Amino acid sequence: MALLQTGGHPPKLGDEKIAQIKAIEGEFLFETYFSLSCQNCPDVVQALNVMAVLNPSIRHVAIDGALFQQEVDERQVMSVPSIYLNGKLFAQGRMGVDEILAKIDTGAATREAAKLNTKAPFDVLIVGGGPAGAAAAIYAARKGIRTGVAAERFGGQVLDTMSIENFISVQETEGPRLARELEEHVKHYDVDIMNLHLLPGPLWRLRDQCLVYRLSQSQPVLSLTAPCLIVLLSNAVLSQENNNITSFQA
C-alpha cells in the first residue's frame, strides 16, 4: 500500500482531510512497533504512511518488533501497535487518520468546534456509531427525518473485532470490513456522521434535548440539539436524574 501511495495512487481520504494533512507544520517522526499477527496494526501503519506521503514534514518508520527484540526491550514495548513520536510514546492501539490528526493538529479542535457549533438542529440525534446506531440512523433517515450520528469513531467496538461469524445472513466477515459497509449504508441516506473524538466522563452530557460536549479540556462547551436523542452505547455507564438521562461515561 505504501508503494502504491508513493507512486501516486490516490489515498482514500476526502479533499478536506488531505488538505488538513498537507497544512500541518512542524517535524514529525513516527515509529510504529507492530507484529505480523496484530489485527490492529495495519490500520495504524497505513494511516501514518499516507500522512507521510502527503506531507514531507511527516516521516514514518514501521518496525517489526520480532526482528528488533533488543530495541523492544529497551523501550519496554508491551503491546502492539505502539506508536512513538519524536522519540516519545504517542499512543497504543488502533488509530486512524482522524484520531492521529486530532492529537497532532493543535488547531483541529478549534476548527471542528466552530464547524459543529453552526449545525442546525437535527430531528433525531443518535449517540453511538456501532451497529445499533447505524440501524437506527438508517431507519430514521428512510422516513425523511433529518438524522445525525455522534460517535467517537463510527463502527464502535466492531472495529476491534477480527472475526465475526454470528451476523445473520453473513457467513463470515471481519470487524473493520463490516464497519466500512455499515458506514457506506448509512451515508447512502445522507445521514450526518460526526466523529467527535470526545474525551470520556463529564465532557459528554445530555441536557434539555441537547448533547453537550467538549472536544478537549481547553475548548468551550458546545452542543448539538434535537427533540429526540437516542443513546446507543454498549459500554456506557449512564446516570439518571428525575428519570432523565443526564450524563454518561464511555
pLDDT tens column, 81-118 = 999 999 999 999 988 898 899 889 877 767 777 777 78
CA distances from residue 145 to 121, 191, 217, 250 in whole angstroms, order as listed: 12, 9, 33, 27
- The more confidently predicted of residues 197 and 173 is 173
CA distance 108 to 242: 37
Using a pLDDT cut of 90, give the percent of the chain over it.
45
pLDDT at 248: 42
Choose the CATH number for 110-249 among 3.30.420.40, 3.40.190.10, 3.30.590.10, 3.50.50.60.
3.50.50.60
Looking at domain 2-105, its CATH class is: alpha beta
45-69: pLDDT as tens digits:
999 999 999 999 999 999 999 999 9
Mean pLDDT (the chain) is 83
* Contact of 170 with 125, CB cutoff 8 Å: no
CATH 3.40.30.10 intervals, the chain: 2-105
Residue 197 has pLDDT above 60, yes or no: no
115-135: pLDDT as tens digits:
777 888 899 989 889 999 999
Amino acid at 132: A
Q: Residue 56: CB partners within 8 Å, gap ≥ 6?
A: none
pLDDT at 118: 82
* Contact of 128 with 135, CB cutoff 8 Å: no
* Contact of 222 with 194, CB cutoff 8 Å: no
pLDDT at 169: 86
Amino acid at 65: G
Residues 40/42/45/50 CA torsion (nearest 10 deg): -130
DSSP label of 158: G
CATH 3.50.50.60 intervals, the chain: 110-249
Q: CA neighbours within 13 Å on the CB side: how many for 214? A: 11
145-183: pLDDT as tens digits:
999 998 888 998 888 888 898 888 888 999 889 999 999
pTM above 0.85, yes or no: no
Q: CA neighbours within 13 Å on the CB side: how many for 174? A: 5
- Average of per-residue pLDDT across 135-145: 95
CA distance 156 to 130: 5
